[in-house]
Structure 1
Amino acid sequence: MTADASDLGEWRDDDGVWFRRAARVIAVDAAGRVLMMRGVDPAEPDHVWWITPGGGLDPGEGERAGAVRELFEESGIRLDPADLTGPVASRSALFSFDGRPYRQDEVLFFARLNGSAESSAEIDRSGWTAIERASVTELRWCTAAELDAVAAEEPVYPPALPAIVRGLIESGWDGVAHAVD
């Protein structure tokens, strides 16, 4: 990789693909609902998807620290890195965003929010970056059944997320970081 770093901790490799490490949080409230974000590609407004809160790690930032920072910036929900379980899954994704080809290696953590205040409070968007304001169109708490319905209409990433959420809610974490597509 060449040293073409942006302030987002991204690096462009010799083939022109941008790379970043990322961490996400599968945040489930006391009612068993997972927090989801609906995204749109600013360069392709018809390209939409659903993801959990999270994003790129800052240079030198650990996965747990990055996951809780991203969750707070994107939702206002504050957790301690010790509140996270996992990582419960990992993936390497190739995609295009805002006209750039990306490879993102990411881990997903699980957090069970015990209090009702976290999910009943208004989502705080004040920590959003300009690109988040341009590309995130909705945040929604979804039950597993609602997540299945969302996935039937629009892509959910990772595609295994509905099954992962259902397993975490019903049985807890099995202690394995499952590799998913």
Structure 2
Amino acid sequence: MRKVARVVLLDPEDRVLLLHGHEPDDETDDWWFTPGGGLEGDETREQAALRELAEETGITDVRLGPVLWRRRCSFPFAGRRWDQDEWYFLARTTQTETAATALTELERLSVAGARWWTCRELERTHETVYPTRLAGLLRALLDEGPPPAPVTLDTEIV
């Protein structure tokens, strides 16, 4: 089980930053997802969240908040199956320009860019977004604030 830290990054307008990913050999098999990735060495999930955010977006001016959600997922990608235990951290920033600064080779082949999304845009999109309930989760977060303890989301198996 791969330990993963993800970031629900909100800008001053409460837009969330998502990355646009696709299968390395098929750009039509695509989806949107939060920045983040696997822990390296003995780093904490908080350290991994900030490192991954910086590598994938260039954004370093961040206030990292609490863990919002936890999710287990399993999915095929790049010719293998990935089984992950993901923690989603809330973060805020005023820095909205993005630039991937340190993508891995696999990320260079599979990440097509980044976009700030409003909650309304997420609620209306027909594009694939992970986690699949992100629009509702974001709406609850914006309306009610962070949960008092991390919420365990349904396991997603693709």
Q: TM-score, normalised by structure 2?
A: 0.90
The count of corresponding residues between Structure 1 and Structure 2 is 154
For 1:103, the equivalent position in structure 2 comes to 83
Q: Aligned partners of 2:115 and 2:130: how far apart in 1? A: 15
For 2:146, the equivalent position in structure 1 comes to 173
Pairwise mapping of residues 6-85 of structure 1 onto structure 2 (< 5 A)?
Answer: 19-79=1-61, 83-85=63-65
Greater CA deviation, 29-38 or 41-50? Answer: 41-50
Structure showing greater relative contact order (alpha-carbon pairs closer than 8 Å, 6 or more residues apart): 2
Q: Aligned partners of 1:180 and 1:46: how far apart in 2? A: 27
Q: Deviations over 1:25-58 (max 9, x none)?
A: 0000001110011110114443211111001111
1:134 aligns with 2:129: no
Pairwise mapping of residues 142-153 of structure 1 onto structure 2 (< 5 A)?
Answer: 142-150=117-125, 153=126
State the AA in 1 paired with 2:108. R
- SS state of the match for residue 54, structure 2? helix
* Deviation of 1:71 (Å): 0.6
Structure (1 or 2) with the greater strand fraction: 2
For 1:125, the equivalent position in structure 2 comes to 100
Q: Aligned partners of 1:84 and 1:126: how far apart in 2? A: 20
Q: Aligned partners of 1:22 and 1:169: how far apart in 2? A: 24
Q: Tell whether the 8 Å contact from 2:69 to 2:89 is kept in structure 1 after alignment.
A: yes
- SS state of the match for residue 130, structure 2? coil
Q: Tell whether the 8 Å contact from 2:64 to 2:90 is kept in structure 1 after alignment.
A: yes
Superposed structure 1 runs of 4+ greater than 3 Å apart = 43-46
- SS state of the match for residue 84, structure 1? strand
Q: Deviations over 1:135-164 (max 9, x none)?
A: 1112000100111233xx222111121112
For 1:16, the equivalent position in structure 2 comes to none
- Which runs of 5 or more residues in structure 2 are unaligned? none
State the AA in 1 paired with 2:146. W
Q: Aligned partners of 2:37 and 2:131: how far apart in 1? A: 14
CA RMSD of aligned residues (A): 1.5
* Deviation of 1:66 (Å): 0.3
- Which runs of 5 or more residues in structure 1 are unaligned? 1-18
